[in-house]
Amino acid sequence: MQILKGTPVSPGIVIGEAFLLDLEEYRMPRRAVEPEQIEQEVARFQTAVDAVVGEITEDVRRLKAAMPEDDLHKIFEGHAAIVNDLVPSVVDSIRKYRFTPEHAVSKRVRTIVKQLTSRDDPSGLAARFVVDFNDVEKRLLRALFGERGGLKGGANGKSVVFAKDLTPSQTIGLDRTKILGFVTEFGGRTSHTAILARAHGIPAVVGIADVTRDVSGGDTVIVDGTKGIVIVEPDGETLKKYRALEKNFISFERRTADEMRSQPSETRDGIAIALLANIERPEEAATARDYGAGGIGLFRTEFLYFDPRNLPTEKEQFEKYRQVLKSMDGRPVTIRALDIGADKEVSGITAQERNPFLGCRGIRLLFERMDLFRTQLRAILRASAFGKVRLMFPMVSTLDEIKQAKAIVADVREELDAEGVSFDPEMPVGIMIEVPSAAIAADILCTEAEFLSIGTNDLVQYVMAVDRVNEKIAPLYQPAHPAVLRLIRSVIDAGARAERPVSMCGEMSGDPLFTALLLGFGLRSFSAVPSALPEVKKVLRSVSIPEARQIAQDALALPDAHQVVEYLTEKTRRIIPELF
C-alpha cells in the first residue's frame, strides 16, 4: 500500500481501477520484414486502419449525440481523413523498404511533423495540425500493438484517470460517464482539470509529482478529493474504511442537493442572495437549473472556438446563446465575451508569447481580432431579444478599455438596428474584475461598467504573483491571503457606493469555506459550478448577516492565509461537518 499526498481540488471519495491517460511510449520495431511476409504486414496495417477509422467514427457519433449543435465532431472527422491520407505512403514503405507497419507509420508522421514545425507559423495552424497527426499516430500504433484507444472502464465500467496534466481539449474529449476521479501531476485548484471535476462532482487530486510512475494501469486506487490523498493498492482494512466513507459522502451530497433544491436562497435572517451557475456549454444550463440556480452568472464562450479551422458563425453562436436562454426560462444569463490566451490557447487565434499570462488575452485580444469580436457581439445582441442577457468583458484593466468596448457595442447596435434586427437596447454591459489595477480602481471603472463580476481565479494569481497551474508554487496560491481578502472587500464596497451590482464567479464563490466571509463583505450574488450550489446555499441559509459580518471582521484581523483558513474551517465545520 502506498499513500500519496497532493492538492485536493474536488471533494469526494472514490475507489476504482487506475487508467493512465496518454502515456504510451512505444518502441518501433525496425527489423526488415521478410519478403514472404510483406503482404501479411500490409493486411495487418489495413486491419489497424479499419479499427482506427471505426473508433473515430464512433467518437464522431458519440459527440453528435451528446452535443448535436456543436462542431467538435469535425475535429475527429479530420483525423479520419488523416488516417486515410497516410495509407498509400505507409503501404509503399512496407512494400518498397520492407518496413514494419509500426515503423512506417511513425517515420511518415515524423516526416510530416518535421515539415510542419520547420516553417513559419504566425497563425498557429501548423501547430494544431501537429497535435492532430500525433493523435492519429498514437491511435494507429495502439491498434497495431493490439491495444484499444479511449478510456477503458474498470469492473463497474468506470476508472480513475491518471495523467501528467489535462488540456481543455483533452477534458472535452473524455467520456465523463466512465470517469470516477482525476489525479494529475500538475495543476492547482483553478486548473482545467479541477474546474471540470468540480463542475461534474468528480473527486480530484492534483499536484502529485511523478504519480504516473508510481501507478500502473489496473491498480486499485482510492482518491480522497477532500483531503488530497491517493492510496495505491490499499490493504483490506483501508478499503473497508474508505468504502464506508465513500457511501456516506455520496449520501450526503444527494441529501444536501435534495434538501436545498426547493429552499429559498436567503440567509437565516431573510436576506435574499442570488445563487447563479457557471457553465461552458448550452446543455449544462439544464443541470444548473436542476441544482436550483437562479440564473447563469458566467457563460464561458471559449468552447465555441475549440476548432480554429471551423470558427463559429454568427448564426451558430446565436443559436447556442438562445438555447441557454430557453433552458433558463426567463432567468438572467451573463455571457462573457471570448476569453482566450494564457493557458487557454487556440491555434490560429492566440499567438506564442514569452509571458502569455501578461500578454494579449481577454479584451486585449478581442481588440486585435475585431472580426471575432463584432461577430460575437452581433450574436449576443440578437440573442438578447429572447431573454435576460448581460454582456461581460474579460481581463479589463483600464477605463479606456471599457469605453472602447462599449463604443464597439454601440456601433454593432446601430448596425443591427439599421438591418431591422431585434435586440434588447437596454442589455447591461459589465466587466470582470480579475487584475489588480481593475480591483484597486473599481470605483473609477464603475463610472462606465453597469455591473462587476469578481474573477478570483486570475485575481489571486496576479495579486500573489503565482502561476495558478504551477504545482511547484501551489502553496503560494492563497485565496485566503489578507491582501486578496482586502482587495475583494474593497471591490464590493466600491460597487455598493456606485450602486452597481457585484457578483463573484471565481472558484472562491463555490467554496463553502468562504461563503459566510463573502456574505460579511457584502457580496449578495454568487456564481459557481452547479454542483457546488447546494453546499453554498446550506451555509448561507445557516448564518445571519450580522454573524457573517463578525466572521469577516475576525478573518480580516488574522495575519496570514493559514490562520484565516483554520478560522473559516472551524466556523464552516459547525454547519457542514460532513465536509471535514
pLDDT at 371: 92
Q: Do 130 and 174 belong to one domain?
A: no
**Among the listed ranges 121-135, 213-227, 477-491, 541-555, which one has the minimum average pLDDT value?**
121-135
Picking from 208, 242, 276, the residue at the C-terminal end of a domain is 242
Residue 353 belongs to a domain: yes
131: domain CATH number? 1.10.274.10
Picking from 144, 173, 192, the residue at the C-terminal end of a domain is 144
Which residue among 73, 79, 103, 192 is the active-site one? 192
Q: Which position has the higher pLDDT, 397 or 21? A: 397
Measured between alpha carbons, how far is 321 from 281 in angstroms, rounded to an integer? Answer: 10
pLDDT at 124: 59
Q: How confident is the model at residue 70 (pLDDT cuts 50, 70, 90)?
A: low
Measured in degrees and rounded to the nearest 5, phi and psi for residue 13 equal -130, 130
Q: Which position has the higher pLDDT, 135 or 30? A: 135
Q: Would the pTM of this model clear 0.95, i.e. be above it?
A: no
Calculate mean pLDDT across residues 266-277.
97
Residue 258 belongs to a domain: no
Written as nine digits, the cell of 468 is 495558478
Does residue 562 have an active-site annotation?
Answer: no
pLDDT at 25: 45
**Most confident range, picked from 24-33, 91-100, 133-142, 535-544:** 535-544
User: Which residue, chain included where needed, has cell 499526498?
Assistant: 5
Residue 257 belongs to a domain: no
Q: How confident is the model at residue 367 (pLDDT cuts 50, 70, 90)?
A: very high
Residue 250 belongs to a domain: no
Q: How confident is the model at residue 218 (pLDDT cuts 50, 70, 90)?
A: confident
Residue 30 belongs to a domain: no
Q: Do 291 and 210 belong to one domain?
A: no
Give the CA distances from residue 27 to residues 24, 102, 103, 217, 455, in Å, rounded to whole numbers and listed in that order.
Answer: 10, 9, 9, 19, 46
Burial class (CB in 10 A: 0-12, 13-18, 19+), 291: buried
Contact 9, 189 (CB under 8 A): yes
Residue 134 belongs to a domain: yes
Q: Do 104 and 168 belong to one domain?
A: no
The helix (H) or strand (E) run that includes residue 293 is none
Q: Do 138 and 161 belong to one domain?
A: no
Express each pLDDT in 237-270 by its tens digit.
999 998 998 888 777 777 888 889 889 999 999 9
Measured between alpha carbons, how far is 133 from 296 in angstroms, rounded to an integer? Answer: 38
User: Could you list the residue range(s) of the whole structural domain that residue 127 is in?
Assistant: 35-144
Q: Do 158 and 45 belong to one domain?
A: no
Q: Which position has the higher pLDDT, 246 or 39? A: 39
Picking from 129, 144, 159, the residue at the C-terminal end of a domain is 144
Q: Do 49 and 78 belong to one domain?
A: yes
- The structural domain count of the chain equals 3
Q: Do 456 and 404 belong to one domain?
A: yes
Q: Do 442 and 558 belong to one domain?
A: yes
Q: Do 135 and 155 belong to one domain?
A: no
Whole-angstrom Cα Rg for the chain: 25
Measured between alpha carbons, how far is 396 from 362 in angstroms, rounded to an integer? Answer: 8
Residue 304 belongs to a domain: yes
Q: Do 336 and 429 belong to one domain?
A: yes
Q: Which residues contact 58 (CB under 8 A, 6 or more apart)?
A: none
Express each pLDDT in 402-461 by its tens digit.
999 999 999 999 999 999 999 999 999 999 999 999 999 999 999 999 999 999 999 999
Q: Do 402 and 443 belong to one domain?
A: yes
Residue 419 belongs to a domain: yes
Question: In whole numbers, what is the pLDDT of the chain averaged over residues?
Answer: 87
Contact 540, 273 (CB under 8 A): yes
294: domain CATH number? 3.20.20.60
Does residue 481 have an active-site annotation?
Answer: no
Q: Do 55 and 96 belong to one domain?
A: yes
Identify the DSSP state of 359.
S
Calculate mean pLDDT across residues 565-576.
92
Buried-state track 31-48, b at ≥16 Cβ within 10 A, e below 16 = eebeeeebeebbebbeeb
